[in-house]
Every structure is written in structure tokens, then in C-alpha cells.
Structure 1
Amino acid sequence: MRARAAAPALWEYDPAKGEIVGHGVPSANATTAQAVAATDTTVFFGAGSILHGGGGKSKAALYAYDRSSREFTHVTPSELQRDASIRELAVVDDKLIVGTAGHAALAQLAVMDLSDLTAYRVAESDTEGGGSLWTYDPRTERFRCYVDPIDEGQCVRGVATKDGVAYLGSDNNTGAGPKATAVAFDPVAGKELWRVDPQQSAGVAALAIRGRHVYGVSRKGGLFVVDIPRRKLLHRADISAVSNGYAAMVTDRGVVYGVSDTTVFRFHPRTFAVSTVVADINGGWYSGSRLTNDESGRLYTMRGRNLVQITDRPEF
């Protein structure tokens, strides 16, 4: 008999004190928590279940944790409660952006007013075919949703932005055309600017930008670098020794870092050579590894089911 897995809990790490504090479990019926975002007063915790509510498990659930009272409040917009889980959270100015793993072919996005969480707007986006690129302008509060921004057969797997341009990386499972495509897209005009075939044997797993270059990693461990001003493929390499499958990347202090199921790695900013930062990281992620950084240049990911902080100071 297998033991029942514990519901996901909210944890807080204080880097100044080196302390980790548990704040409890907001929902005993949730089986997954995929998103956290915070303000100075509130932590938002996005949960749900891969079972889509089956077996008495939770569907999409959003909780607000008050840092002063130390209490959770259920704040999920009613329109989102039919979805499987909360997948993304972000604080943008005075708004909370909420994205779900949808029902059927649709995912949903909500923009919630941080001063009144009962005030919100909801939009739907297509997740079949080529998927959707969804944008929100915090100045005008305008939603835009572009269906099949690459084409109707290539779904969007990676997004990176610079100077008002969204760079999209695709995963093509149709059997026709390139396995991956890198596209520069104007999110205001809603049109493609240019595209490059990165000559990969599998779809894009992650994108990142450093200076004039778009870095991409494929699901079979291919690295590609696109020169933005020249709109050309500049570099390719096999990095399957450190990344094979889904991955994530972040640019930190002028260096592009990545994480796979097994390894934290980085790329030399001039030669693009890959090197290992942490081997055998083996993060216990669901649906792909994650990597982020803070304002001091420290990296965060997971080793097993434990949060780890990484300080890396390469001498290039």
C-alpha cells in the first residue's frame, strides 16, 4: 500500500537570517502547487490537482496568505475554479496576473486588483494547435490574445522579451516542416517581424536573451543562438550531456544559466561553451524544471524536493 502524499505547503526562506519557515497547507485536497507570487503584505499561492478534481481532489485554487495575520484566504475567481490548477502567478504594478492549466482546449488568465481581489477581469486562450500568445498592458489594462502566433501546428514552448519584442520558440509535432522555429513577434501590432529555423531535431524547451542574442535549448539537448540584429542563426551545439528534455533558462548578471532534470549549467557569454554549475541537481519538479534569480544575483531551483540557493561567480 502506498502512503498518501502530503498536500503542498507554503514555505518561506529568509536569506538574511538563513531561516526556513513553514506557513502551513491552505488546501488538504490539492495535489500540486505550481505558482507563488508575493507583495510586501501578501503571498499568493496557486494550487490544484493533476486529477482535475477527480477523487475528491481540488481543482484550480488561489489563496492569499496575509503575512501579518498568518492566515490563508481563498480568492479564486469563480470562472477559474473549473480549471485543473493555477499554473502561473505574477505581480505587475498594482495587479495580480493569474494563469490556469485549462479545461478541454482552453486555459484562462485573470487580472486581479491587488487592492480589491474581488475586482478582476478574465480572458480565455486556446491551448490546442499553435496555442496562444496572451498580453496585458498595465497602463491601458488592455488584454490581447493572438491565436497560433507561429502557425496552427507549432505550439509556443518558450517566450522571452526585450525592447518591446516577444521572442517565441516553438515545438512542432505535426511531422511537417522544422521541428522548432524562433519567431520575433510585435505584441502591440500583433504581427510577426521575422523568423529563423534553428535547425533542431526537437522542439524548443526554453529561451533566454542576453544582449543581442536569443539563446534556445531544445528538448533533445540542442543549443542554438540567434543574432537579433542580423536575424540569423549564429551558433549551434550539442549539450545533451547536461540537458535532455524540458529545461528552463534565466539571464543573471550577464550570464545565461539553465537547469534540466539533472543539472544546473551556464553558457560562456562569448564562446557559448556550456559548463556545469551543479551536477546531479535532480529536482523533483512536475512538468519541467524551474530556475529563477534574485536582485543579488543568486539562483534558486530544487534539489529533489528541497529549495536550493546557488551563488556562482564565473570569471570570464
Structure 2
Amino acid sequence: MNHNPTLTRRVALQAGGAGGLAVIAALMSSAPAHAAGATPTAQSLEPIITDLGPAVVQFSLMSSVTIGDTVYIGSRNVEPARIVALHLPTGRVIGMTEIGTGHSLQAMAADPTGRYVYAGVLQKAGGPQPNLYRWDVTTLGTPAEAIGRIGDRDVRAVAVSPDGRLYAVGSGAGTPALWEYDPVTGQVANLGTPDPAATGARAVAATETTVFFGGGTLFGGGAARAGLFAYDRAGGASRDITPAEMLNDPSIRELAVIGGKLVVGSAASTAQSKVAVMDLDDLTSYSIATSIGKTAKKFAMIGDTVYFANEGTILSYSPASGVVAPVEFDGPAVAEVWGLDSGGGTLVATSSYGFVLQIDPVAGTSVVTDLAAAGAPAAAQAAMGVAAGLGSVFVGGSGTVAHHRLAGGPVEYLRAPGEAKDAIVVGGVLLTGQYSSEGIWRYDPRDGRPITKVAEFPGEQNRPHDVCWDDVHGLALVGVQSDTVGGGSLWTYDPQTEQSKLFTNPIDATQYVRAVVSREGVAYLGGGLQNADGPGTVVAFDPVTGEELWRTAPLPGSGIAALAVRGRHLYGLTRRGGFFVIDLTRRTVVHTADHSSLSSGYAAMVTNRGVVYAVSDTDLFRFDPTTFAATVVVPDINGSWYSGSHITNDEQGRLYTMRGRNLVQIDDRPRS
């Protein structure tokens, strides 16, 4: 997370008249909050740490499956992960089980008898742990049991064949394999890698004779394209059955065997996604249509009509007519749908906003059940980004932004699709970089309006990493990664004119923009790759013209994790803990060091009170402005971040980051 911008003359003018004076008065009069019992002095070197409580608390979900009149819903971004059972007729949660490992459940399926719900886990990097679970839902008081592990770290999809065998696919361990669990023997077996070019797999379906495997490029670019393979359960061989119309899409996103057909959805990038219905008896015979949006997933069927979801809408597809259209109904926006089932002419959809919808697609009516109100347990999540200013601190979560007011009061939750991966506060206004492919969103707590999208960019530029403020040009700058085509981009947004620009691959075709900072109207971009290796390129870039000014690779071999500017010096950390300082006037590296004992992976940096601070997964530390030596300020901070550490500050020079799952304010006054 980049630092909160100081109040520039431009921002004061934008505030306008009496409003501008009010902004200045608020900045001048706001006093720092201190921990109970703390008595800071001018000579104190101990940081004052104020615990502001859990950063983001909600019930967030990532999967579901319906058996009869009960929906089983898998949680997202909480530990322990859990499954809740929602009884639709009463609208109440009637059961819950906790999962022993992992933080999210993206994959769920029911066995043919309706007795078991199977779940696959997303995990952090670490040692071998179970990532496949089974819950006997005929006895909801019995906990789910671990049944084994697939070799891929993250389970992305599971399916059960008619004879009760579980098939699973995932990502996180190189080329993804097809895995099988036999409930008779209790063994998990590797059935091979149907698609040797794939970097991940998110789709699997099974019949009595065949398992269908959907792979492609997943998270970070690459050469692989969509691949659909049929694995012969008797012979053990796989054959490529990818529809020609999907070959240029990045990956197969979803598979389902419904009504004697194989339904296929792709994930798209520069074009629209596709949906196909294939004849199981003759897989060369299929109907296919270009869909709406970049994703086609979560299939259900009523009669001859296929229903599915894209990034924020439920769609219908008629194979007979070839028409794809939005489903019109009287309910709220669904955002991302993580489960879709059908029964008795009704669709059951689970929304990332934390509710379940029962939709009659013919009548256009719906019933909404809020999961928290129904009894689903809310819990503190790992955080995304954090931003602070004018008495507010904002923390990104899954489908929400938590608004903490330093003056006190309950936390307000701003409903927004996707995730606020990073953000800044400019003159009291929040600007977020919103994943996935959601662009830049804006929220002003003083005008009473909801958070809204203010800038949109091409869908393949989908993963914002870092947001900073260019006070010379009055621009928000956002560093971005493209998961599907590789490389990345720089987004710019001018809040005054509401104009935005996109600069694609400003570093090169493979490095995304992990970090961005600004000094005197020049943007400094730090490049990275999906893994920790990489050129580690830093590019000086004009954010108005798109002109590259110069570049260097101060510590080649590792991608850039974070950048910060202090005076004429550009500080940087790599993902392997390398530290460098560049003299921007001479364009030379003047200092390097190994801080891998303090930092590895996605660290973050901020300049505050004339000193550069950094936070890693473990520690908060600062650098001496003269010697560049590192000093630990808060050891073992161990912030719970979903996709890399963040840190920010406010106008009074107070720092904000995570300690565990709680938001903390840190008032550090190093001896000058």
C-alpha cells in the first residue's frame, strides 16, 4: 500500500471554498489516538500501537452445492474454513462444520446418493496437509473428515461420478494433474497430466466412463490456451476435445454433466467467453455461442435452457436458438456467483455479497436470504489493501470495503464487487484498484453516495497491485498484472477531469507492474513475474505521455516487491528480501543489502515522517535515511494479508497495517 498523499494545493482547490477550509481544519486539528495507558514523550523511541479491532468481519463464500432443499456453502478467506447448511424453506442455517486446513473452499460437489458433500481447499504455501474433505450431511452434527490430498496445493474443482468416485483438479504445483479419490479404498491417485501445457485447471466433470478435464493459463500469463480433455477411465488415456471456437481463450473455466450433455464454459481475455453444449455420445457434435462477459461458469439446466454466470450476472443459453441473454428478475445485483443449481423450475444462486437467491426465471421473481441474518457465522478475514485519511481507514475484503472511523462508531461496510487490492485516500476521497477487471472505484464518505466505478480498463488487465498518487499531475496511478496474457499495465485516473488512460506493458511483455511510486511527476515502476524470480526491472516512466525515461535492474534475479521514494532516493525491496537504494539524480545504485531474514514475498513500503518504512509477512521495520540500515519497529507483526502485505499512513504520520487479523495504528517517532 502506498502512502497517503499530503494535502496539496490542487487537492485543497478541488475541495472548494468552505469545504476546502473544512478539510484543512480537519487535517490540522485531528489528534492521534493512543493505546490505553500509553504516555508518549518527545524523546520516546517505542512505537505506540493502537489496536483498532478486526479489520474486515463478514461471512464470505466461494462455493456451494444444493441437495434437496438445503444449500451447502463453502466459506472464503477465513480460518478455519467452514461449510454451512442453509435450509431454504425456513431461511435458517441448520448446520456447520469446520475444515481443518486451508483458508477458502472453492470446490464443492455432492455424491449421487446425497449423503456426502465433498470439498476442496485453497491453502497457503507449506507442508503436505489434507486438501480434500467429506461431510456426511445426513448427520449434520458430525464434523467433516479429511480424506486425503491432491498434489496440487489448491483444489479448484471437484466432481463425483455416478459410481461415487471423486475427481479433483487444481493449481500451485506446476503442470496440473487429474486426481481420483476412491471411497472404497480410501486412496487418492494421480491419473496423469492430460494437458502438459496448462499452468492450472479449474474445471472437471465425470460420467460412468469418462472424466473431463479443463485446463489452460491460470494466474500469471503463459503460453497455454484453453484445453478440454476426455480421460478414458477404463483405458487411462486422454484425448483433446477442445472446441475449435475456444482454442484462443486462456482456459476452460467450468464443466458440468447435465441432462445427458457436457456443458463447457471458457474464461476469456481480449474477447468474450464462450459456452458450449456437447453430445456425450458424439463429442464432435456440439452447439456453441459467444457469451456476455469474460467468464462462463456455474451451470444449471431447466428444460432445454442452460443457466450460468459471468462476472456479475446470471445468463441463459438456448442451444436451439444460439441466444445468450441476461436473466431478468426482481432481486439485487448478484456480483460474483459461486454456485448455481436448479430444482422444480427454480434457480438457486449463491452470491459473493453473502446471500442466496431463489429465482423463478419465467416469472422474474426472486427470494433473497441474507446468510448472516440466517445464522451464518461472521469472522475476521485476511485483508486486501488499506488506505487512510481525514479520520477514516479503509480495508479491502472479499466483495466489500470496511470503513473504520477513528472517532469511533461501528464499522461501515461498502458493498463492491471483487476485491480492493490496494487504495489511496486523496482529500478524504477513497480511490481503489479493484480486482478482477473492475477498474478504479471511488467513495467519498461526506457525500452520502455509494461506492461507484469511475474508470474501466480492458478485461485482461485484471489484477491491480499498487496504487499511488502523483501530486504533480493530480493522477491516481495503479500498477496492474494481466493473469491471462502476461505482462501488465499502468492505469491513470484524474479525479478532477474523470479521465483515465492505460499504458500496456510499460516494462515488457512478461513483467507486470507490482509497485509504483511517484516523484516530481515521474512514475517509477517495479516489475515482477508470477514466481519470485525475474529481471527485477525498475522503469522511470512519464504517466502523461507514456514515454519511458530510463530503466535499470538493481538486483536482477528477483522480482520487485515494493518501492518508496525519499528525497532523491528510490528505495526497493525484492521478493527474495534484497534491498536497494537508487540515487535518482545520478541514476545509480548507491546501496544494496540482504534483508531476507526480515522480508520475503510481497512486502510493502511507505515514506512517513521523513523515513521509509517496510512491512513484510512477519515484521515492520524502517530504514535509516543516512546509512540505510534497517531497524525493526514491530517484530512478529504477522499481518494476515490475502495477497501480499500493505502499509499506509495518514496526514498525522500514523501508520496503518495488520497485526494478525486486526487493524493496527502505529505512532512511531524515530529520534532525529
Normalization by structure 1: what TM-score? 0.74
Match of 2:384, SS?
strand
* Match among 546, 549, 572 for residue 190 of structure 1: 546
- Name the counterpart of 2:435: 101
Match of 2:524, SS?
strand
- Name the counterpart of 2:581: 225
- Name the counterpart of 2:456: 123
Give yes or no for the alignment of 1:142 onto 2:499: yes
Q: 1:315 to 1:159 in 2, by over 3 A?
A: same
Q: 1:120 to 1:193 in 2, by over 3 A?
A: same
Give yes or no for the alignment of 1:86 onto 2:425: no
In structure 1, what is the Cα distance between the partners aligned to 2:51 and 2:634?
A: 22
In structure 2, what is the Cα distance between the partners aligned to 1:24 and 1:292?
A: 14
- The count of corresponding residues between Structure 1 and Structure 2 is 282
* Match among 618, 623, 626 for residue 262 of structure 1: 618
Deviations 1:231-270 (A, max 9, x none): 1222211111211222111111111111111222111111
Q: 1:222 to 1:231 in 2, by over 3 A?
A: same
Q: Work out whether residues 111 and 122 of structure 1, in 8 Å CA contact, stay in contact via their aligned partners in 2.
A: no
In structure 1, what is the Cα distance between the partners aligned to 2:438 and 2:583?
A: 33
Shift of 1:306: 3.2
Shift of 1:202: 0.9
Moved more, 231-240 or 90-99: 90-99
Identity %: 46
Q: 1:272 to 1:95 in 2, by over 3 A?
A: closer
Shift of 1:164: 1.1
Q: Which amino acid aligns with 2:528?
A: D
Q: Work out whether residues 158 and 168 of structure 1, in 8 Å CA contact, stay in contact via their aligned partners in 2.
A: yes
In structure 2, what is the Cα distance between the partners aligned to 1:259 and 1:175?
A: 18
Give yes or no for the alignment of 1:28 onto 2:59: yes
In structure 2, what is the Cα distance between the partners aligned to 1:267 and 1:157?
A: 21
* Match among 632, 635, 647 for residue 291 of structure 1: 647
Shift of 1:299: 2.7
Shift of 1:96: 4.0
Q: Work out whether residues 153 and 174 of structure 1, in 8 Å CA contact, stay in contact via their aligned partners in 2.
A: no
- Supply the RMSD in Å over aligned alpha carbons: 3.5
In structure 1, what is the Cα distance between the partners aligned to 2:429 and 2:667?
A: 31
Q: Which amino acid aligns with 2:504?
A: V
Match of 2:625, SS?
coil
Moved more, 19-28 or 187-196: 19-28
Q: 1:312 to 1:191 in 2, by over 3 A?
A: same
Q: Work out whether residues 113 and 120 of structure 1, in 8 Å CA contact, stay in contact via their aligned partners in 2.
A: no
Give yes or no for the alignment of 1:15 onto 2:33: yes
In structure 1, what is the Cα distance between the partners aligned to 2:632 and 2:391?
A: 37
- Name the counterpart of 2:516: 159
Q: Which amino acid aligns with 2:537?
A: T
Q: Work out whether residues 112 and 121 of structure 1, in 8 Å CA contact, stay in contact via their aligned partners in 2.
A: no
Give yes or no for the alignment of 1:215 onto 2:551: no
Q: 1:163 to 1:279 in 2, by over 3 A?
A: same
Q: 1:315 to 1:180 in 2, by over 3 A?
A: same
In structure 2, what is the Cα distance between the partners aligned to 1:281 and 1:194?
A: 36
- Name the counterpart of 1:274: 630
Q: 1:182 to 1:305 in 2, by over 3 A?
A: same
Deviations 1:117-174 (A, max 9, x none): 4875340251322211111112222101111111111111111111111111111469
In structure 2, what is the Cα distance between the partners aligned to 1:44 and 1:291?
A: 12
Structure 2, unpaired ranges of 5+: 1-31, 37-49, 62-76, 78-380, 462-480
- Name the counterpart of 1:56: none
Normalization by structure 2: what TM-score? 0.37
In structure 2, what is the Cα distance between the partners aligned to 1:93 and 1:284?
A: 28
Q: Work out whether residues 93 and 138 of structure 1, in 8 Å CA contact, stay in contact via their aligned partners in 2.
A: no
In structure 2, what is the Cα distance between the partners aligned to 1:296 and 1:68?
A: 17
In structure 2, what is the Cα distance between the partners aligned to 1:279 and 1:64?
A: 27
Q: Which amino acid aligns with 1:187?
A: P
Q: Work out whether residues 54 and 662 of structure 2, in 8 Å CA contact, stay in contact via their aligned partners in 1.
A: no
Deviations 1:2-61 (A, max 9, x none): xxxxxxxxxxxx81685877799775336445345577698766432xxxxxxxxxxx34
Q: Work out whether residues 99 and 108 of structure 1, in 8 Å CA contact, stay in contact via their aligned partners in 2.
A: yes
Moved more, 153-162 or 118-127: 118-127
Q: Work out whether residues 110 and 123 of structure 1, in 8 Å CA contact, stay in contact via their aligned partners in 2.
A: no
Moved more, 146-155 or 86-95: 86-95
- Name the counterpart of 1:169: 526
In structure 2, what is the Cα distance between the partners aligned to 1:131 and 1:29?
A: 29
In structure 1, what is the Cα distance between the partners aligned to 2:497 and 2:629?
A: 42
Shift of 1:229: 1.1
In structure 2, what is the Cα distance between the partners aligned to 1:112 and 1:299?
A: 21
- Name the counterpart of 1:252: 608
Q: 1:305 to 1:151 in 2, by over 3 A?
A: same
Q: 1:182 to 1:39 in 2, by over 3 A?
A: closer
Q: Work out whether residues 53 and 663 of structure 2, in 8 Å CA contact, stay in contact via their aligned partners in 1.
A: no
Q: 1:189 to 1:269 in 2, by over 3 A?
A: same
Structure 1, unpaired ranges of 5+: 1-13, 49-59
In structure 2, what is the Cα distance between the partners aligned to 1:180 and 1:34?
A: 23
Q: 1:107 to 1:221 in 2, by over 3 A?
A: same
Moved more, 21-30 or 238-247: 21-30
Q: Work out whether residues 209 and 251 of structure 1, in 8 Å CA contact, stay in contact via their aligned partners in 2.
A: yes
Q: Work out whether residues 92 and 138 of structure 1, in 8 Å CA contact, stay in contact via their aligned partners in 2.
A: no
Q: Work out whether residues 153 and 173 of structure 1, in 8 Å CA contact, stay in contact via their aligned partners in 2.
A: no
